[in-house]
Chain A
Amino acid sequence: MTPRTIRAWSFVHKWTSLVCTAFLLMLCITGLPLVFHDEIDAAFETEAWEPARPGGPLLSYDAILEAALTNRPGEVPLYMSFDIDRPVVNVTTGPTPDAPGSRMHFASFDRTSGELVPPAPDGGGVMDFLLQLHTDMFLGLPGMLFLGAMGVLLLAAIVSGVVLYAPFMRKHDFGTLRRQRSRRIKWLDHHNLLGIVTVAWLSVVTLTGVVNTLATPILDLWKAQQLSDLTEGFEEGRVARAESSLDAAIAKARQAAPGMTLQFVAFPGGAYSTDHHYAVFLHGETPLTENLITPALIEAETGRLAGLREMPWYAKALALSQPLHFGDYGHLPLKILWALLDLATIVVLGTGLYLWLARKPQSARESGRPAALAVRSAS
């Protein structure tokens, strides 16, 4: 590599990192507790919840929906989801069918009695706050897309960092940490080592994070490309009411997709359905396919099954990006590794910032060498 190309890559590495570092530090710090949100939620649970009538008959989904709407007068249903390990149905409602996440209301109901399941105490909403900060910084879609752009910059910083690793390591063995040398050299070596060993993990978490920030446009594209034919002949702009039986819709969906498991129902007018259909989402049974959801669409007013629609590749990519970003697909050991690699990334960001702040004075750069390489030749 000529000094000229090294300078160009240094320029890319410096500026892409500088722009995104503050946001990346926020994402790494808020992401750390979010990795363990299941464990943290469980720790806050004071006592185990019991259904009102254990083993008793289960109420219909229609009855639960009615209970949920009575509980939230004036609101419309958005989503219904189903707990795996207890007879509990969760209903998300909102003031309008397209209500943003911040205005949605989530409530859980006992299927044996229709009673509300008391929400688990969550430490005063700290985890919700962290999640919102991590997702969109309370700025909605623009905030999400902005963080996605920071992710793209980080990918450029990773690539340029890998390129620059070569000239820095020409005279050193892998893993060299000159700890007895100047503070700058010590942190440079840490930056290089921690950066290069976390490349694969950080690239995957960054790339999947960027895909997650595109969830809204991806779902809009899916609806425009794959579901628009279903809405032909319907009155445009009017959202259907949830009139036909939900139990019948779920039964039809199960029949259309034998061997698949019910995951959630999206009501008409929201991000996951058309203005006129219930979208009953089912997922597969193997570890890989349980992340891939397929909707059965049922006309909300007539109960007619419009069909089962396999998700296109970009929606599947979004679905697989979630576990790969959250690190929640391999039990506690994987989460601990996620946390350790996250901490290593914080060190890379911190040392990178330090190396910029403690950079050589102007004279070293005016001599025609990038400041960072001046350190190498000084060693």
Chain B
Amino acid sequence: MNRYRAAPRSLRQVFAVPLALFLVSLFGLIAALVGNGMWDAAGWIALSLPVAAIIRARRRS
């Protein structure tokens, strides 16, 4: 079970996924604001990733 692995993760490992989700969410929030059509769709996809991360974590545990 890797969650009992002794080696602690580095800050970079801890924040890799959260930082990616942060940047993607910000992109989504702004994309839907600056344009219509494709930009709105890009915003929806980007902002659905944090929701998808929650669903995925719940299904895996």
Q: Is A313 an interface residue (CB 8 A)?
A: no
Contact of A341 among B40, B51, B60 (CB under 8 A): B51
Task: Choose, from A104-112, A124-132, A199-207, the stretch at the interface.
Answer: A199-207
Interface residue ranges of A313-342 to B (CB < 8 Å): 320, 323-324, 329-331, 333-334, 337, 340-341
Residues of chain B contacted by A344 (CB below 8 angstroms)? 50-51, 54
Residue of A nearest to B48 (CB): A337
Q: Is A172 an interface residue (CB 8 A)?
A: yes
Q: Is A374 an interface residue (CB 8 A)?
A: no
A165 touches B44 (CB 8 A): no
Residues of chain A contacted by B57 (CB below 8 angstroms)? 175-177, 193
A197 touches B33 (CB 8 A): no
Q: Is A179 an interface residue (CB 8 A)?
A: yes
B60 touches A175 (CB 8 A): yes
Q: Is A30 an interface residue (CB 8 A)?
A: no
Residue of A nearest to B22 (CB): A200
Interface residue ranges of A147-200 to B (CB < 8 Å): 162, 165-166, 169-179, 193-194, 196-200
How large, as a class, is the contact surface on chain B? 35 or more
Residue of B nearest to A162 (CB): B18
Interface residue ranges of B1-30 to A (CB < 8 Å): 2-5, 8-9, 11, 14-18, 21-23, 25-26, 29
Alpha-carbon separation in the docked complex, A177 to B4 (Å): 13
Residues of chain A contacted by B36 (CB below 8 angstroms)? 287
Alpha-carbon separation in the docked complex, A331 to B36 (Å): 10
Q: Is A378 an interface residue (CB 8 A)?
A: no
B32 touches A174 (CB 8 A): no
A170 touches B44 (CB 8 A): no
Alpha-carbon separation in the docked complex, A272 to B37 (Å): 33
A166/B15 contact (C-beta < 8 A), A176-B61, A200-B21 known: yes
A341/B50 contact (C-beta < 8 A), A166-B11, A199-B18 known: yes
Residue of A nearest to B51 (CB): A340
Q: How far is the CB of B13 from chain A (nearest CB, A)?
A: 9
A329 touches B14 (CB 8 A): no
Interface size for A (C-beta < 8 A) is: 38
Main secondary structure of the interface of A (DSSP, over half): helix
Q: How far is the CB of B34 from chain A (nearest CB, A)?
A: 5
Residues of chain B contacted by A330 (CB below 8 angstroms)? 32-33, 40, 43-44
Q: Is A288 an interface residue (CB 8 A)?
A: yes
Alpha-carbon separation in the docked complex, A320 to B33 (Å): 9
Residues of chain A contacted by B43 (CB below 8 angstroms)? 330, 334
Alpha-carbon separation in the docked complex, A324 to B40 (Å): 13
A331 touches B25 (CB 8 A): no
A173 touches B3 (CB 8 A): yes
Q: Which one of B17, B35, B57 has the greatest number of beta carbons of chain A within 10 Å?
A: B57
Alpha-carbon separation in the docked complex, A177 to B55 (Å): 11
B3 touches A329 (CB 8 A): no
A331/B18 contact (C-beta < 8 A), A175-B56, A287-B35, A323-B33 known: no
Interface residue ranges of A251-308 to B (CB < 8 Å): 287-288, 291
Q: How far is the CB of A271 from chain B (nearest CB, A)?
A: 25
Residue of A nearest to B10 (CB): A170
Alpha-carbon separation in the docked complex, A165 to B9 (Å): 12
Contact of B50 among A198, A329, A334 (CB under 8 A): A198
A174 touches B33 (CB 8 A): no
Residues of chain A contacted by B51 (CB below 8 angstroms)? 337, 340-341, 344
A170 touches B14 (CB 8 A): yes
A201/B18 contact (C-beta < 8 A), A330-B40, A334-B32, A337-B44 known: no
Nearest first, the 4 closest Cβ-Cβ pairs linking A and B are A200-B25, A330-B32, A175-B57, A177-B61
Interface residues of A (CB under 8 A from B): 162, 165-166, 169-179, 193-194, 196-201, 204, 287-288, 291, 320, 323-324, 329-331, 333-334, 337, 340-341, 344
5 A-B contacts, Cβ less than 8 Å apart? A165-B14, A175-B57, A177-B60, A199-B22, A337-B51
